[in-house]
Structure 1
Amino acid sequence: MKKYSILKKIIDFDLTLIATIALMPLIVVLSLLIKLDSNGPILFKQKRIGKDKVPFYILKFRTMKIDTPRDTPTHMLENPESYITNMGVFLRKTSLDELPQLFNILKSDMSLVGPRPALWNQYDLIEERDKYKANAIEPGLTGWAQVNGRDELPIGVKARLDGEYASKRSLTFDLKILIKTFLGVLKSDGIKEGKADS
């Protein structure tokens, strides 16, 4: 597992650096469009839980209006559509709002693959992940739970899938998740706005 961890860090950094350079024109264009679309900053910074439950600030393109309640997951809002900006609808549907997290990976806050980082106040998810030792590894840009339901999954199932990834990690497994993520993004799989039923 130690050899895997070292290789994973090297691959994470190299692939992310290449992707950041290649996608920089797109990042610049999206930044300009966000600024023109609505008042507020281009980037959205939010406190999340990292490896060993050490908090860090995740970066995203801002998709919500500046009067949106802070630290509330979108799926917990009563009428999320009223808070999402015009550009935000496009960014969230295409998952392009996640692009700034490339910088989180370069800073070693995150990995390409791992459990999606929980909000600092998602105590139920954090507690459930403790049962499966899923808080002991780096959070990811994408993960096993993400490609198996994303926002549609109840907390218990999401934590169990994160634990399954934590116990079975390998470069082959990571590659499988990255491929499934790419295909899922093309189809906008598992994206759900508004309060969940469970």
Structure 2
Amino acid sequence: MKRLRRVDRTQFQKLTYPHLEFLYNMALKYCGNTYDAEDVLQETMYRAYRNFHQLRDEAKCKPWLFAILRTTFLREQRSLKKRPLLDDGSGYLKHVVDQDRKSLGALLEEKMDKANVQQLLEMMPEKHKSPLILYYMEDMTYREIADLLDIPIGTVMSRLARAKKQMKKNLLKKLGMHKKKRNFSIISVFLPGGGL
């Protein structure tokens, strides 16, 4: 029995490991962050190993694995929707996922290297760059930014809005999409609160 498992494990590794990078990249595209992508990939590989006997055609291993990955991701999404919101002890329910407050730095670094992010920031005027960096990368509040820069909160908010718009424009230009009017969905990956 142990010998059979070892052969199965060896065969499993031989057939599945060449597809790990593809699976990880797809999980990353689905999930939008490395932590969830790694979880989905790990669960995918566990399910694939458990059900390896169901793979009939070795040539179809990649689509078989992708189907498992997609199903795993969709299950995770459904379970998140069914999961109750966290109770903070006071009886008031809080939702723990705040996409708009997710660090812009983390979002950008997942998709671009630091040099590219730096280039995008350098293209911005200082009055827009500072609030953007302080809010998204340093996780400061509007009040903290206003106090630090000695400007009203309303000015912080308007500068952030303009900075996000400028960042989108710079990113489109960098990606060679500056002439297109449609397909702005790619921008929502880079900036929280995505749409135009």
Q: Comparing both structures, which one devotes a greater share of its residues to strand?
A: 1
Query: Common fold, TM-score beyond 0.5?
Result: no
Higher relative CO (Cα under 8 Å, sequence separation at least 6) belongs to 1
> What TM-score do the two structures reach when normalised by structure 2?
0.24
Bigger Cα Rg:
2
- TM-score, scaled to structure 1: 0.24
